[in-house]
Chains A and B, each alone.
Chain A
Amino acid sequence: EIVLTQSPATLSLSLGERATLSCRASQNVSSDVLAWYQQKPGQAPRLLIFAASTRATGIPDRFSGSGAGTDFTLTISRLEPEDFAVYYCHQYGSSQTFGPGTKVDIK
């Protein structure tokens, strides 16, 4: 099983700041099968990024994804109020696993 590790567990930032979230895989993951989701309390997750760097339909361009192999990054260029949430990475190339999540909260 491919284990995904996310860091940090919590990221405390202010509005307008840049957020950098890391996802590390225990084995190589094809960039084609790495996604990022945003989840707010009481809601289903929302697909942000797929294929490591492709924004899903309707996702603002302040969200960007990058990386390859075992190291992937989600960047939010300037935090807006609606961006404070939990973010999960997800690989779907070898069975499917999710990372434990990074909570982005207001400093």
Chain B
Amino acid sequence: AQTVTQSQPEMSVQEAETVTLSCTYDTSESNYYLFWYKQPPSRQMILVIRQEAYKQQNATENRFSVNFQKAAKSFSLKISDSQLGDTAMYFCAFMEENNDMRFGAGTRLTVKP
């Protein structure tokens, strides 16, 4: 069974608008870590943002923020003021305390001018 699910294979947004990418995960653990990675065409993986499950406050990194709903096991990424350079694949990842990391299949985001 898929541990990390990204239900949106593709999304698009107009430049300067806001877009939200969805991610859900499955675990029986109480403490774990969540990540969003950006993957440009080079296939490099760039860490965008991370969240510790024990922290109730949603993580924020400049234009990127998350909506972490622990009870719902949901970890969505919000990109504000979208820029053309945000066009990429975005991967959600989940890591339990034993350090096993699991990735979603990715969401292709296109920012349109």
Query: Are A and B co-members of a single complex?
Result: no
Residues of A within 8 A of B (CB): none
